[in-house]
């Protein structure tokens, strides 16, 4: 194996065309804030050195920026990550999954949903716009649904692709996406070092429960990233034991009322029953109510991609894009899915 090559391990049970869905905001956010942390550390070090040596402080220059000063670090990291995924997995179709503005649906249920997340600053917004424009011009599809969060689209689209004869990989770091895992759906963690597609066994090893129990697991333990409260004083160990022994959230509530749960757990669950049921609402994916053609768009324009990359002086990535000349831009043909028709109880 050549130096710095990437190992690809599939968990799928049968050979099918492969679809890859990339959690775009998740990828950009993680790369942007990782670089910000490094830059802030460099600034602190430079200030400390200037103070210790009694010399004028000179602010370190950003490691990555365009000639006009536009930051490009998160953009370059994200483009390289997307490029690695596509080259190694060689999918039949690939899409960036974007936010469609669906957060408010859950805020109606719980006002503090994702309240701890800071809005994207101008540096991140600009790089996200550039990344989206470059990827779209290379022929990478954009997938989003009105009034739906990216998580809803990832779960719903994976189900529809699986039912339509595709294997599907979700490239994301969100814990709640593990609910999608099945014989034809796997997870590629967004911070991968090696391309290892995780299946049901990986989910059980990581969380202690099978994919069908992930929503119930998060309903109990909560999720600080998404602002899902869960049940106070029920942690991962207790949640795993309860779910594997007694079943779903609804079954736990029923058995608690019947006196069939361990007393301490029963008290906690019954005291916070309403909050537990709400947490499950928040953790459950909303159905997709729009047709595939309304959500999936491709606008390939290689010349435009080249122009943007030249303006940004991103010559290292510019050298890679001839690979995308033959990237398929066909919209995957899907069969209707009952998954998207289920009633939304938000």
Beta bridge partner(s), residue 175: none
Q: pLDDT-based confidence at 340, cuts 50/70/90?
A: very low
- Which tens digit of pLDDT belongs to each residue from 92-146? 999 999 998 778 788 888 888 888 887 888 999 999 999 999 999 999 999 999 8
- Which tens digit of pLDDT belongs to each residue from 290-308? 787 788 898 999 999 999 9
Backbone φ, ψ for residue 199 (5° rounding): -115, -155
Specify the pLDDT at position 344: 35
Specify the pLDDT at position 10: 58
- Which tens digit of pLDDT belongs to each residue from 144-172? 998 899 999 999 999 999 999 999 999 99
Q: In the predicted model, is pLDDT for residue 346 greater than 60?
A: no
Q: Which of 4-8, 44-48, 124-128, 225-229 has the lowest mean pLDDT?
A: 4-8
Q: pLDDT-based confidence at 259, cuts 50/70/90?
A: very high
Q: In the predicted model, is pLDDT for residue 83 greater than 60?
A: yes
The secondary structure of residue 333, as a DSSP letter, is P
Structure-token match 């920026």, residue found: 65
**What's the CATH code, domain 209-286?**
1.10.150.20
Question: Domain 8-206+291-326 - what CATH class?
Answer: alpha beta
Confidence (pTM): 0.90
Q: In the predicted model, is pLDDT for residue 60 greater than 50?
A: yes
Specify the pLDDT at position 342: 38
Domain layout of the chain by residue ranges = 8-206+291-326, 209-286
- Which tens digit of pLDDT belongs to each residue from 24-38? 999 999 999 998 888
Q: In the predicted model, is pLDDT for residue 4 greater than 70?
A: no
Long-range contacts (CB closer than 8 Å, 24 or more residues apart) made by 231-238: 231/268, 231/269, 231/272, 231/275, 231/276, 231/279, 232/268, 232/272, 233/268, 234/265, 234/268, 234/269, 236/207, 236/208, 237/208, 238/265
Q: In the predicted model, is pLDDT for residue 49 greater than 80?
A: yes
């Amino acid at each position: 194996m050549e130096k710095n090559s990437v190992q690809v391990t599939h968990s799928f049970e049968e050979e099918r065309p492969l679809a890859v869905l990339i959690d775009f905001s998740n990828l950009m956010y993680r790369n942007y804030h990782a670089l910000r942390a490094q830059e802030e550390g460099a600034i602190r070090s430079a200030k400390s050195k200037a103070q210790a040596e009694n010399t004028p402080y000179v602010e370190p220059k950003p490691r990555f920026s365009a000639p006009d000063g536009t930051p490009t670090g998160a953009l370059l990291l994200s483009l390289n990550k997307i490029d690695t995924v596509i080259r190694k997995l060689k999918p039949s179709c690939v899409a960036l999954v974007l936010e469609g503005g669906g957060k408010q649906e859950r805020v109606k249920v719980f006002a503090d949903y994702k309240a701890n997340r800071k809005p994207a600053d101008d540096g991140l917004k600009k790089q996200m716009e550039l990344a989206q424009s470059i990827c779209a011009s290379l022929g990478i599809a954009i997938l989003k649904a009105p009034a739906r969060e990216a998580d809803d689209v990832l779960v719903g689209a994976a189900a529809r692709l699986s039912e339509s004869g595709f294997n599907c990989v979700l490239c994301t770091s969100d814990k709640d996406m593990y609910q999608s895992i099945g014989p034809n759906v796997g997870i590629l963690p967004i911070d991968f070092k090696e391309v290892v597609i995780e299946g049901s066994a990986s989910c059980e090893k990581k969380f202690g429960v099978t994919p069908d129990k992930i929503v119930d697991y998060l309903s109990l333990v909560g999720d600080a990233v998404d602002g899902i409260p869960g049940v106070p004083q029920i942690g991962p160990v207790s949640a795993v034991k309860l779910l594997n022994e007694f079943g779903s959230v609804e079954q736990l509530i029923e058995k608690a009322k019947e006196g069939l749960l361990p007393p301490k757990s029963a008290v906690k669950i019954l005291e916070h029953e309403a909050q537990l049921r709400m947490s499950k609402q928040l953790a459950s994916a909303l159905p997709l109510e729009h047709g595939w053609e309304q959500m999936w768009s491709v606008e390939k324009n290689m010349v435009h991609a080249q122009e943007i990359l030249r303006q940004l002086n991103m010559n290292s990535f510019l050298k890679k894009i001839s690979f995308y000349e033959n990237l398929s831009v066909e919209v995957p043909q899907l069969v209707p899915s009952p998954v998207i028709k289920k009633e939304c109880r938000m």
